[in-house]
Amino acid sequence: MSDPDDVNQRIIADFRANGGRVGGPFAGAPMVLLHHTGRKSGKEFVTPTMYLPAEGDEDTVYVFASNGGAPANPNWYHNLTTAGSARIERGTRTFPVSVRELTGGEREAVYAEQAHRFPGFAGYAEQTRGIRTIPVLELKGLGG
């Protein structure tokens, strides 16, 4: 099995070489690179993830802490929610964002839309049913 760090590094390189587009299993999927600081280590990390654009706001995206349907939230989720802000690369732009976790009906509607567009997300929700609810984060541009 491939090392997830190696896979992420290949996706990051592909993203940067192709103006924010990637190939392979994520070909055609909207991707951003999350720049976040480890809440324990203080180290900067870059994590590729799929996103859903916010309607009517080109500087706001929603990301999903699915962790591939694993039983625990990914580390980047904890880093982003602890910090309350981050930077993202979207296409060829890098800009600062605020972080807000969606709840209730707002979270349900955004997750349902992502699952409609990319059915793998419905599978992740099924895998985690009864274990955890997959968090949805709004990353809102701060005028970058």
Among candidate residues 28, 38, 34, the one with its CA nearest the CA of residue 86? 34
Residue 4 has a pLDDT of 67
* Beta carbons within 10 angstroms of residue 125's beta carbon: 19
Q: Is-contact 28 17, C-beta < 8 A?
A: no
Give the C-alpha separation, 48 to 57, whole Å.
21
**Mean local confidence (pLDDT), 21-31:** 93
Phi and psi at residue 89, in whole multiples of 5°? -105, 125
**Mean local confidence (pLDDT), 118-134:** 97
pTM of the model: 0.94
Over residues 1-20, the pLDDT tens digits come to 567 678 899 999 999 999 99
Assign 83 a pLDDT band (cuts: 50, 70, 90): very high
Percent of the chain with pLDDT over 70: 97
What mean pLDDT, rounded, does the chain reach? 95
Over residues 94-120, the pLDDT tens digits come to 999 999 999 999 999 999 999 999 999
Among candidate residues 122, 26, 136, the one with its CA nearest the CA of residue 73? 136
